[in-house]
Amino acid sequence: MKNRIILPMFLCASFALPGFAQQTSNSSAPATASTSQSASDLQPIPPDKPANFWDGDDPNFVNLITHPFANKKWVQRQVTPIRDRINELDQLTSENSKEIKDVDARATQGIQMASEKSSLADQHASDAANKAQLAQTAATQASTRVSTAEQMVSNVDQYKGTGQTEIRFRTGETVLSKAAKDALDTMAAPLKDQRSYIIEVRGFSAGRGQAAIASSQKMADSVVRYLVLNHQIPVYRIYTMSLGNEPVEGANGTMAKSTSGGRVEVNLMKNDLQH
């Protein structure tokens, strides 16, 4: 314990002796200067007086004893710049951290928005693919229907005669006889609830000119009236022609002679349309 006390005291003495000697020399110097100044009438230059041992006082024994430790102001002057720099660094670090967080937040938001847009684009692409598939299916069905319709249209006028009935009238009469009605019943009965057929009614009458045509028109109208009222044949399926006393083509392709009485030819024609 004694050694620990003696060693610092020895070191302090070793630092203080040169300072003490310098102070002694300084004390003698003013005396000399005063002697010379008295001769020249000049005031002596005051020596510098440091305010603190730690601010630059000579390391003499007195300053070492009076200022063994750094005072609070000196420490503050030394520490304040460092503290300011540390505060600046903390502020910069805080600002950088905030900017990094903002960048991360924006990046996360951007990634999320890009992911949502990508999912939306995938959904739109899927919807477009489904719509394209539906459109392709609809186009195929439409093409099939068009082909069927074309086939039907091409067969619309392909009617073939399936039966002919001849109704005779006495000269000057347009009323149907019982035999004529029975013949029309036999022909029209199978047509109930059927389609794709037409009935051609051609009237012939004896005489000449417009009188023969008018008479043949009346006889054809009586046949049409009976088919419509008694067998519900649609009017649009019946085609009427008043030929008067015109000759008709025979079976062998020759023209037959004009009729001598009144008659009506009823031709039933069908086609091969499928429903």
Residuewise pLDDT in 10s, the chain (275 residues): 445 555 555 555 555 444 444 444 444 444 444 444 444 555 565 555 555 555 554 555 555 555 555 567 767 777 788 888 888 888 889 999 888 988 989 888 889 888 888 888 999 899 999 999 999 998 888 888 877 767 666 665 667 777 889 999 888 788 898 999 999 999 998 888 888 889 999 999 888 889 889 989 999 999 999 999 999 999 999 999 988 887 765 545 555 555 567 899 999 988 765 54
Architecture of domain 160-270: 2-Layer Sandwich (3.30)
Instruction: State pTM to two decimals.
Output: 0.43
CA angle 256, 257, 261 (to 5 degrees): 120
Phi-psi region of 23 (alpha: psi -120 to 50; beta: other; left: phi over 0): alpha
pLDDT for res 48: 53
> What distance in Å separates the CA atoms of residue 17 and residue 10, rounded to the nearest whole number?
11
Q: Which pLDDT does position 36 carry in this prediction?
A: 43
Give 38: exposed, middle or buried? Use CB within 10 Å, 0-12, 13-18, 19+.
exposed
State how far Cα 207 lies from the chain centre: 80
Query: Can you give the pLDDT at residue 252?
Result: 52
Q: Any idea where the domains of the chain sit in the sequence?
A: 2-69, 160-270
Rounded to a whole number of angstroms, the distance between the first and last alpha carbons of the chain is: 130
In DSSP terms, 197 is beta-bridged to 270
pLDDT at 148: 75
Residue 81: what pLDDT? Answer: 83
pLDDT score of 271: 76
**For position 161, what pLDDT does the model report?**
76
Radius of gyration of the chain from its Cα atoms, rounded to whole angstroms: 68
